[in-house]
Amino acid sequence: MALRTVVISRLLQIAESLDVDVIEVIGHTDEQPVANRVSNLDRHLSSVTLGGTDVGVLQCAENADLGLER
């Protein structure tokens, strides 16, 4: 939620203060577990990508899953 309420507005302030149109956000993923659960990306990612299923159905189990989901 902070991404929507805090981070985006702060990025807009920074962009305006620097007079830039683009801010590139870079990160990385690894295979560290996110939680003690099972990923369902193999089952649902294609349908989400094609717009047939809501993205909220996706359940990631490790950082690599999160990178793929992005």
**For residues 24-32, average pLDDT:** 72
Segments forming the whole domain that contains residue 32:
2-69
What rounded mean pLDDT belongs to the chain? 83
Task: List CB contacts of 38: < 8 A, sequence separation 6 or more.
Answer: 59, 61
| Residue pLDDT, tens place only, 46-64 | 898 899 988 888 888 877 7
Q: Which amino acid, residue 17?
A: S
Amino acid 29: pLDDT: 66
Residue with tokens 């690894």: 30
* The residue to which tokens 């991404």 are assigned: 3
Q: How many domains, in total, are found in the chain?
A: 1
Can you give the pLDDT at residue 64? 72
Mean of pLDDT values over 3-20:
90
Residue 42 has pLDDT above 70, yes or no: yes
Q: Global pTM?
A: 0.47
Using an 8 Å Cβ cutoff, are 25 and 2 in contact?
no
